[in-house]
Amino acid sequence: MLSSALPARALVEALPDTVVVADGEGRIAYVNAAVATLLGHSPASLMGRSLTVLMPERFRGSHGSGFRRFRLTGEGELVGATTQVPALHASGREIPIDLTLARLEPAAGSDPDSAVVVAVLRDASTTILLERQLQVSRYLTATLRVTAALTEAADSDVAFEQLLPTLCTELDWDAATLWQPESSGGHLVHSRTWEAPGAAIPALVADSATRTFVRGQGLPGLAWQHRAPVVVEDLWDDARFLRADAARADAVRTGAAFPVMHGDTLLAVCELFSREQRDVPVELLAVLAHAGRQIGQFLARLEAESEVRDLADTLQRSLLPSHLPTIPGVQVAARYRPGGGSALVGGDTYDVMPLPDGRWMVLIADVCGTGAEAAAVTALTRHTARAAAAAGNPGDMLSAVNTALLHEQGRGPLRFVTACCLVLEPTAAGHRVHLAVAGHPLPLLRSADGAVTEVGAPGRPLGVDADVQFETTSVDLTSGATLLLYTDGVTEARDAAGSQFGEEGLARLLSGRDCADAEKAVTAVKAAVEAQVAGSRYEADDMALLALTVPA
């Protein structure tokens, strides 16, 4: 078909997407070279074969009639939008693809049977991975928002009152019930129910009020017995759920329960209900299990401020790497100093991770504000940057974070983020740094002779503008040179008179002999900032430092 249009054929051959043309019998009349990368077939091996060779077995039976209808009429279930479907790789495994169909009309006066079908196939695995990572980030955000709700509670009763709506709202469930052990500890009794607007469950409320559950009995008892989340995807037909009639009356189809534990002690069981029959992914089960443990720890220590601080410290550490990896040929050092205010957690973070091609991603970020809400945004920022790191371009990584932050806006106060993301790659002379900046202080490059310069191009913060783009700058990190990344808690640190440490003060300090390598640099800067704020009446901000040195 394309033999008379050589320029068009060359264009199609150069496309990264797989293009398949099928004739009136559903046989492959043309396929471009991209099919080898996507599905493992050579184009020549597919010519003349049925389209079903690219389909999993379960879809082949219904293919014939649907294909003929679409070829003749242009109508079909997959028409009008790109659809995600599985395709069969030459190795026999299934891979997800985005499929777009088109029908090329026959020439005027020609037989309608001469119409051909064109299919465009694109690898959907990256999209699916990013969507999954975004979903995991949302689950993590929900956990942190539960923490935020609990921190405002004066006692356990208030805490549970805030817990149920927070969980349902953040995780898209319609209602929740809480079960707590009676005084003897042998039975669970109904404590309270929360219902989303327009999602009343009167039958379940009435039924639950008359019941108690022992360990292993019903959905609450199973969560108690297993000490782990339990899911019943169809409450109407699963014998484990003992209130099926009430669930039918309320049109509730799926339920999940998780225990709230402190050590070996059960404090409560929380049930979540959905009117929609839904799958519950393993990531959500992990979040519920974590939430149950976290809530239990919090409730058991609600009255002890020092232990609440311990919980906050644990959360803060979860926003930072547990240790810095070893980068061949580069010394890496970091420091973090929490702010001096009353907020449980801060919004500064940094990260270092290897990329598949031998390069390294380095990130430093600062979220507007402090506390659990800021921590949720910090976690989302770090997690999304990691998910997008495969792109290998720091500007693309920042764009992915920007998209994720804008997706979460509206759930709370605006939380913009400043960040600097860089990719470090080895070169013959040392290492080359490709970096992009989003409203963050520009990194400082200290040469082997002590000269200090700013590097990078300023950019707009993340989470504000969907159309923002980030410029990538490249700079060589040669023998003896140190690159310092920092948050504004360094330069904005105020002494008792209100004077800031400042960019000039930082550059002057970094040029000295005490900052000749990464470890010395972060140690000296942290000590200088702590001396700056000592005895000051001004509240100190969080401070994060990360330095890279190519040893001389």
CB 74 within 8 A of CB 103: yes
Least confident of 50-54, 210-214, 457-461, 509-513: 50-54
Confidence of residue 139 (pLDDT cuts 50, 70, 90): low
Confidence of residue 310 (pLDDT cuts 50, 70, 90): very low
CB 388 within 8 A of CB 355: no
Nearest 5°: phi and psi at 467? -95, 5
Longest dimension (CA), the chain: 91
Question: What are the DSSP calls for 480-537, one per residue?
Answer: T-EEEEE-HHHHT-B-TT--B-HHHHHHHHHTSGGGSSHHHHHHHHHHHHHHHHTT-S
Question: What are the DSSP calls for 73-100, one per residue?
Answer: HS--TTTTS-EEEEEE-TTS-EEEEEEE
* pLDDT tens string 239-280: 999 999 999 999 999 999 999 888 888 989 999 999 999 888
Q: Indicate the SS3 state at residue 42.
A: coil
What are the contacts of 247-252 at 24+ separation with CB within 8 A? Answer: 247/203, 247/204, 247/273, 249/203, 250/200, 250/201, 250/202, 250/203, 250/204, 251/275, 252/174, 252/175, 252/201, 252/204
Q: Is the dihedral of CA 442, 448, 452, 454 positive or negative?
A: negative
CB 372 within 8 A of CB 494: no
Task: Give percent of the chain with pLDDT exceeding 70.
Answer: 80
Distance CA 281, CA 34 (A): 33
Residue 315 has pLDDT above 70, yes or no: no
CB 307 within 8 A of CB 159: no
Question: What are the DSSP calls for 415-464, one per residue?
Answer: --EEEEEEEEEEETTEEEEEEEEEBSPPPEEE-TTS-EEE-S---PPBTS
Confidence of residue 1 (pLDDT cuts 50, 70, 90): very low
* pLDDT tens string 451-499: 999 999 999 999 888 889 999 999 999 999 999 999 999 999 999 999 9
Average pLDDT over residues 326-341: 86
Confidence of residue 175 (pLDDT cuts 50, 70, 90): very high
**Within its chain, how far is the Cα of 81 from the centroid?**
26
Question: Which residues contact residue 40 at a Cβ distance below 8 angstroms, ignoring those fewer than 6 apart?
Answer: 89, 90, 91
Distance CA 185, CA 62 (A): 57
CB 58 within 8 A of CB 73: no
Distance CA 382, CA 386 (A): 6
Confidence of residue 447 (pLDDT cuts 50, 70, 90): very high
CB 226 within 8 A of CB 236: no
All domains in the chain, ordered by first residue? 6-123 (3.30.450.20), 130-303 (3.30.450.40), 319-549 (3.60.40.10)
Q: Indicate the SS3 state at residue 182.
A: coil
Question: What are the DSSP calls for 140-165, one per residue?
Answer: HHHHHHHHHHHHT-SSHHHHHHHHHH
The pLDDT assigned to 354 comes to 93
Average pLDDT value over all residues in the chain: 83
CB 526 within 8 A of CB 337: yes
pTM of structure: 0.47
Host H or E run for residue 123:
strand 116-123
The pLDDT assigned to 153 comes to 64
Distance CA 376, CA 319 (A): 9
Helix 125-151 to helix 156-171 angle (10° resolution) is 160
Least confident of 62-76, 215-229, 361-375, 522-536: 62-76
Least confident of 55-64, 195-204, 515-524: 55-64
Residue 142 has pLDDT above 80, yes or no: no
DSSP-derived secondary structure letter, 352: E
